[in-house]
Structure 1
Amino acid sequence: MAMTRLAAALALAAPLLLGAAPRADDWHDPALSPDRRAALVLAAMTREEKLAMVIGDFASDQVGKPDAHPPAAAREGSAGYVPGVPRLGIPPLWEADAAMGVATQPTARTSRPAVALPSTLATIASWDEGVARAGGAMIGGEARRYGFNVLLAGGINLTREPRNGRNFEYGGEDPLLAGRMVGAQIAGIQSNHIVSTVKHYVLNAQQTDQFTLDARIDPAALRQSDLLAFQIAIERGRPGAVMCAYNIVNGAYACENAPLLRDVLKARWGYPGWVMSDWGAVHSTVASANAGLDQESAATFDAQPYFGAPLAAAIDAGQVPAARLDDMVRRILRAMFANGLFDHPVAIAPIDTAADTAVSQDAAERGAVLLRNARATLPLRAAALRRIVVIGGHADAGVLSGGGSSQVHPRGGSAVKGLAPTGWPGPVIYLPSSPLAELRRAMPGVTIDYLDGRDPAAAARAAARADAAIVFATQWTAESQDTSLTLPDAQNALIDAVARAAPRSVVVLETGGAVLMPWAERVDAILQAWYPGAGGGAAIARLLTGAVNPSGHLPITLPRDDRAGRCRPFGGAPTPGARFTVDYCEGAAVGYKAFDRDGIAPLYPFGHGLSYTRFAFAAPRIARDARGLHATTVIRNTGARTGAAVAQLYVERVGGGWEAPRRLAGWARRTLAPGARQAATIAIDPRLLATFDTAGGQWVIAPGRYRFRIGASSRDLGPPVDIVLPATRFGA
């Protein structure tokens, strides 16, 4: 048997070794399908080689394990490494953590400088799939040039818990918006012939006790919310891998959850790629393998290695079918072929920092949301101002970024040194793009002073002497810890003091998600800049001065208090480390849907975003053709300057029966000159008109009347247009 395998391997490798043209049945032939090529390679592999492909190593030194060192062939400072099979030409998997760029692990001996995108939530706020794809292409290109062929990107988990420390990495609160935008980012990453993941599958909605949290939710509600977001992202981005989460879902760990992995992801959706675990998310051999986990990532993070030798023993004992190991490896190989890892091997090359920073800055400019602009305070006009005071937020040095495994390290390190925590999930990093310096550059005739904001009384005195005061308010959030919705370090008191003293007051928010704003109606303008990335300082200055017209819209609801829109208390296990249950009682009514259902007024609604011009939207015309149902509207710029509008289409089922009064059904973003108008057609995904029947495994559109409205947010909607739809059932 061994000689037969060796002969087969040599026959497959001969064209590569001798430079001959590939045969019709040769896996080197790029004309063959990824499935066929994977099958041919799989047939030549030994069992030992297969077992080595389904278990990975950490590619860096590991905190708390001084004797655990990365393999020599790994990319030091990165997240993961899976050895290849040199005799068959199978490349290793070099894996880098990512959300906003190529990350470096905190235990690395030297950091890997890379260009940071704005937070994922900021990209989602652009409502522009082109922005998401361009950002993905940029970070995927940097990953490739650093020698990585797997990027652990594609965070999409819905914002069920506004305190979640990783919300800045994720896709907001609506499944359609999150799915389309993250899918576009994944497609951009993979355009570089590398693999992107989509993660964390599923219901990874808080950091507190996430390893022991049992997320309980009605299966139909899950299909209509978080799983729908994943499904749309997978359809549009075609990620090579899905990363399963730490938490438990309805009684079973996410990485050994057969209903989610085997039944929904692979059987129902026909997902052809592989399922990798999160780092430390595996708890079994037999249950995980049979449920659909294909690869154990960085086994030193788990209580013990569960694949490798234990998997071989389980196969020998008949507990795991031998065919299951073949399926695991085939899926990995298939994704590698589909994304060009064989035909376009990665190679170290220089990074074009200036070009990549321009991509990041563009995303920051399009994703920033102008929340308030009383008295037309913005844009700041140099001709009308003599003195401005900028206060707080280390705006003299740089812009804040989020912490944890996704942390991108800029060249030269943080612009602000020594901020705690310096260890995991830190260090706290300010990217060296100073809003103060950029404002001074943009307004050379205006005196612009800076105060650090530690003394509210001094800040108020400076604000009273200036024509306008700009307070930069920041909140650092990170993986492994949840946060408060209250700004830290007495910043609310600082903003209040400045607002009372300044002739004009502006607040710029650099936060990972929602924060409470008790001062919102006392300040003149609020710009939500999120974590704005490598070009963030320039982006903020251009937005404040009007060189760029704000066009972002909220991908989350901003509440008035920390209880609004939530049906459960927040917390962790009564005993640390104990398994505990969180009832996701809101079901599919995430975010704005719960606010609408319960009649709660938000501070700023989902979809909200102001501009320096004005737009009008015509009532939609609903039509059906061979492509399906779609809505057409006309967008007009009724103001005095060019700007981008986002026409948001919402649908209601007249008579109720849904989780909430209305759902986002689609949108169109258009840039228009003053006085211009443009028609926009919005395709309507039929799943947004349906509920999920778990017994029948189908989507069901109930017969009856459906009401469509176009508007600028979920609470700013135009006149209704009703249509009657027949009963319809369609597959999952």
Structure 2
Amino acid sequence: MLTIPFAGTAIACGVALVVAACGNGSEISSSPAPVDADASANSRAAALVAQMTTAEKVQLVHGVGIPNAGLGGPYPAGVAGAGYIPGISRLGIPGIAMADSAGGVNVVNSNATALPAPVALAASWDPALANAYGARIATELRVLGYGEGLGGGVNLAREPRNGRTFEYMGEDPVLTGTMSAARTIGTQAQKVIATIKHYAMNDQETNRMTSNSVVDERTMRETELLAFELGVTQGLPGSVMCSYNLVNGVYACENPYLLTTVLKNEWGFKGVVQSDWTATHSTVAAALAGLDEEEPGDVSGGASIPGFTLTSYFNSKLADAVNAGSVPMARLNDMVERKLRTMIRWGVFDAPPTPGGAVDQSAGNALALQVAQQSSVLLKNAVAGGDTQPVLPLNAARLSSIVVIGGHADAGVLSGGGSGAVPAAAGNAVSGCVSASPLLSTCATWYKSAPLAAIEAKAPNATVTFLDGTNPAAAATAAAKADVAIVFATQWETEGADLPSLSLPSNTTDTFNQSYDQNALITAVAAQAKRVIVVLENGSPVLMPWLGNVHGVLESWYPGVQGGQAIADLLFGDVNPSGKLPITFPVQDSDLPQQTISATDTAVTYSEGLLMGYRWYDGKQIAPLFPFGHGLSYTSYSYSGLNAHADGSGNVTVTFSVRNTGSRAGSEIAEVYAALPAGLGEPPKRLVGWQKVALQPGQSQQVSVSIAPKLLSTWDATAHAWKLNNGAYQLIAGASSRDPNALSASVTIAGH
């Protein structure tokens, strides 16, 4: 059992505090903090504020530009990230440099490790791995001179065509919040401030600067705000970034309900509310609503970027507002105290990072490989005609010919675009694309980890050929002659744009990165091949009209700088797949709650209410292509002996056994859902916990999942509080959200 400082202990995921027993809790790194670390940080910060002039205070609550865009400054040598706030040398206050860091440090020429995307991390369902992920990125941020990472996206996949889906962690608040907290703890243990974002209801990119998320209080609190609540209260991030959009008619970064009522007052957030870059729209309204830091702040000189308005509201305008009394000095003091307290509490004040260090690429690559291996999801594994075993894993000794087709598998693996990107340390593996935009590139970055070379190394005695996919007839002919055809299919997405469809992109829908129709290619190959496997590299779900005609589908997401190796390890069974979907894959676009993403209507109405993600498919009785929580293995598991017990306070403990009934060692993610009492207006079920168990063939292990009352509660919008309702609760344990063999038990809870 592991004790995490400032967070209490945990025994399984979905509990009051959830980092320990969902993976190997012993791997979680978090150095013990002194008991009075918070009090000490508070008093030191207050003492500094008391010595500061108004001008010095204002200096600490806004950035001075965008270093990586060459705007603003001046900047110290080595500062090349997204933002910078200069220090105050007379008081010994260091400056702080910030960098984007969704799946690695987004700084060019830094040799930073490109880990698999956050959506892939979520598919591991492993908080210990999330902790290591946060720690790795923080270690690299620090060695490069950055004291704050901007990477912790926790928006839920309400709209899976969102171009930033790859930066987030799926559609469930408990999975997302739990993984976010573990990542934050890993980051801040390395003396780097963690940011979680984009607060809140920032769930699509179309019209992102002007869209108004219209959503009722109960829906907010039980879906995306629950993810933030878990992320904030369990992870204790130093920074929460407010979003571009409006929420119920008020910009998020000047929304008092979000920033003060909920975040600061209810959740007790002690850190800094930081605006997204150019998301501040006022001085007095923003300051009084609870915004503490404006980014990018004062760019000076009237610089401009297409699509962004670079106006500072927290420079001289804030000083004027304080002098005029429209923003109280106490509010400015609170803003500055929060900034200093956060820097002191997480070690950035006393041990400021210095730029110029070298990234440990071997350590980064080792974690990148591990995350890719543990996050890939085996979606389908069928037996081909004439065979007795499923198509995967491939047996190299029995293969004489393999054809690898498409997706630039001869060159590398795909990654996502925008601020959540990580530059390719070794250069882009695919050249020839010319971006239509100087700001947010329309060209994909590919890492030089070629699946083809890794496959060749696994099957040295087989003839391995590659076709680029541009000629479906040639690919089908080659596939007909080979023992197995492996088709690579890709879906590029980026910040700043949403996908037109979840269909695999073609040369007409993504003219920059696709030179052929991927669905037509797969259909042609499947019609001729003896055995065909599709490997997906994508950030959002994809539609699979050809699914019935292929034998295997491996979901690798954006698999990072070691992706090619990980894919080969999984295909050949050197690693047993254990990932499970953090997001539902629908059959067709028309099954989504939002039929289309309007280009013109800026009102984004959450008319589905609580039916977000799998709750929509369950509530509307729509069959998904692959359900939330689905993922196959090269072994098999059985569940037995479910017991559920509730104590007088509404804490529920669920126990059951999981046995590996197959012939290979593997790890099973055992998922626990709750169906609430009838009549509450709730979806059919919600995820409340899980445990990831590693089992040898024949081995059985008892699983115990503890569920805190909040995770069984509903939000009472009249009382503005969580309510634990009276009645019978069904607890369901299984291998996915739609496991036909799931076990269930009922407990009766007295309401609170």
In the superposition, the TM-score normalised over structure 2's length comes to 0.89
Residue type of the partner of 1:509? L
Cα drift, residue 343 of structure 1: 2.4
Q: What is the aligned length?
A: 686
1:652 aligns with 2:675: yes
Match of residue 440 from structure 2: 425
Cα deviations by residue, 1:279-298 (Å, 9 ceiling, x for unpaired): 01011001000000001011
Cα deviations by residue, 1:516-549 (Å, 9 ceiling, x for unpaired): 1101111000000000001101100000000000
Residues in 1 aligned to 2:37 and 2:552: alpha-carbon distance in whole angstroms: 56
Query: Unaligned stretches of 5+ in structure 1?
Result: 1-28, 105-109, 575-579
Contact persistence 2:646–2:747 (CA under 8 A): no
Cα–Cα, structure 1 residues 439 and 646, in superposed 2: closer, same or farther, change >3 Å? Answer: same
Match of residue 206 from structure 2: 208
Match of residue 92 from structure 1: 95
1:630 aligns with 2:657: no
Contact persistence 1:281–1:302 (CA under 8 A): no
Match of residue 590 from structure 1: 612
Cα drift, residue 74 of structure 1: 6.3
Cα–Cα, structure 1 residues 293 and 75, in superposed 2: closer, same or farther, change >3 Å? Answer: farther
- Which SS does the other structure have where 1:246 is aligned? coil
Residues in 1 aligned to 2:432 and 2:113: alpha-carbon distance in whole angstroms: 21
Residues in 2 aligned to 1:74 and 1:635: alpha-carbon distance in whole angstroms: 55
Correspondence list, 1:397-416, <5 A: 397-416=411-430
Cα–Cα, structure 1 residues 434 and 322, in superposed 2: closer, same or farther, change >3 Å? Answer: same
- Which SS does the other structure have where 1:133 is aligned? helix
From 482, 489, 492, the counterpart of 1:476: 492
Match of residue 548 from structure 1: 575
Q: What RMSD in Å do the two structures reach over aligned CA positions?
A: 1.6
Match of residue 19 from structure 1: none
1:464 aligns with 2:480: yes
Match of residue 23 from structure 1: none
Residues in 2 aligned to 1:194 and 1:72: alpha-carbon distance in whole angstroms: 20
Cα–Cα, structure 1 residues 705 and 625, in superposed 2: closer, same or farther, change >3 Å? Answer: closer
Correspondence list, 1:263-662, <5 A: 263-299=261-297, 300=299, 302-347=309-354, 348-375=356-383, 376-421=390-435, 423-426=438-441, 427-483=443-499, 484-489=501-506, 490-567=517-594, 569-573=596-600, 580-624=602-646, 628-662=651-685
Contact persistence 1:618–1:710 (CA under 8 A): no
Contact persistence 2:83–2:98 (CA under 8 A): yes
Residue type of the partner of 1:639? G
Query: Unaligned stretches of 5+ in structure 2?
Result: 1-35, 300-307, 384-389, 507-516
- Which SS does the other structure have where 2:548 is aligned? coil
Contact persistence 1:190–1:196 (CA under 8 A): yes
Cα–Cα, structure 1 residues 61 and 146, in superposed 2: closer, same or farther, change >3 Å? Answer: closer
1:727 aligns with 2:744: no
Contact persistence 2:589–2:595 (CA under 8 A): no
1:51 aligns with 2:52: no
Cα drift, residue 630 of structure 1: 1.6
Residues in 2 aligned to 1:604 and 1:74: alpha-carbon distance in whole angstroms: 49
Residues in 2 aligned to 1:379 and 1:168: alpha-carbon distance in whole angstroms: 27
Cα drift, residue 587 of structure 1: 1.9
Match of residue 76 from structure 2: 73
Contact persistence 2:665–2:694 (CA under 8 A): yes
Residue type of the partner of 2:490? T
Cα drift, residue 625 of structure 1: 5.2
Cα drift, residue 76 of structure 1: 4.2
- Which SS does the other structure have where 1:665 is aligned? strand
Contact persistence 2:120–2:558 (CA under 8 A): yes
Residue type of the partner of 2:703? A
Correspondence list, 1:95-244, <5 A: 95-104=98-107, 111-244=109-242
Cα drift, residue 448 of structure 1: 1.0
Residue type of the partner of 1:416? V
Contact persistence 1:286–1:320 (CA under 8 A): yes
Contact persistence 2:232–2:267 (CA under 8 A): no
Contact persistence 2:664–2:697 (CA under 8 A): yes
- Which SS does the other structure have where 2:589 is aligned? coil
Contact persistence 1:379–1:545 (CA under 8 A): yes
Residues in 1 aligned to 2:321 and 2:369: alpha-carbon distance in whole angstroms: 51
Residues in 2 aligned to 1:61 and 1:689: alpha-carbon distance in whole angstroms: 45
Residues in 1 aligned to 2:65 and 2:476: alpha-carbon distance in whole angstroms: 50
Cα deviations by residue, 1:377-433 (Å, 9 ceiling, x for unpaired): 000101111000000111111100000012211223111123243744224210111
Contact persistence 1:619–1:709 (CA under 8 A): no
Residues in 1 aligned to 2:112 and 2:743: alpha-carbon distance in whole angstroms: 48
Residues in 1 aligned to 2:695 and 2:156: alpha-carbon distance in whole angstroms: 31
Correspondence list, 1:683-698, <5 A: 683-698=706-721
From 238, 241, 246, the counterpart of 2:244: 246
Cα deviations by residue, 1:191-246 (Å, 9 ceiling, x for unpaired): 21010100000011110101110000011110011000001011222110000000
Cα–Cα, structure 1 residues 551 and 251, in superposed 2: closer, same or farther, change >3 Å? Answer: same
Cα drift, residue 121 of structure 1: 0.3
Cα drift, residue 726 of structure 1: 0.6
Correspondence list, 1:16-35, <5 A: 33-35=40-42
Residues in 2 aligned to 1:243 and 1:30: alpha-carbon distance in whole angstroms: 24
Cα drift, residue 604 of structure 1: 0.3
Which of structures 1 and 2 has the larger relative contact order (alpha carbons within 8 angstroms, sep 6+)?
A: 2
Cα–Cα, structure 1 residues 195 and 74, in superposed 2: closer, same or farther, change >3 Å? Answer: farther
Cα deviations by residue, 1:624-670 (Å, 9 ceiling, x for unpaired): 45993221111110001000001100110242424310000100000
Cα–Cα, structure 1 residues 678 and 191, in superposed 2: closer, same or farther, change >3 Å? Answer: same
The farther-off stretch of 77-86 and 246-255 is: 77-86
Residues in 2 aligned to 1:399 and 1:235: alpha-carbon distance in whole angstroms: 36
Match of residue 22 from structure 1: none
Residues in 2 aligned to 1:365 and 1:598: alpha-carbon distance in whole angstroms: 34
Contact persistence 1:124–1:171 (CA under 8 A): yes
Contact persistence 2:661–2:697 (CA under 8 A): yes
Contact persistence 2:428–2:446 (CA under 8 A): yes
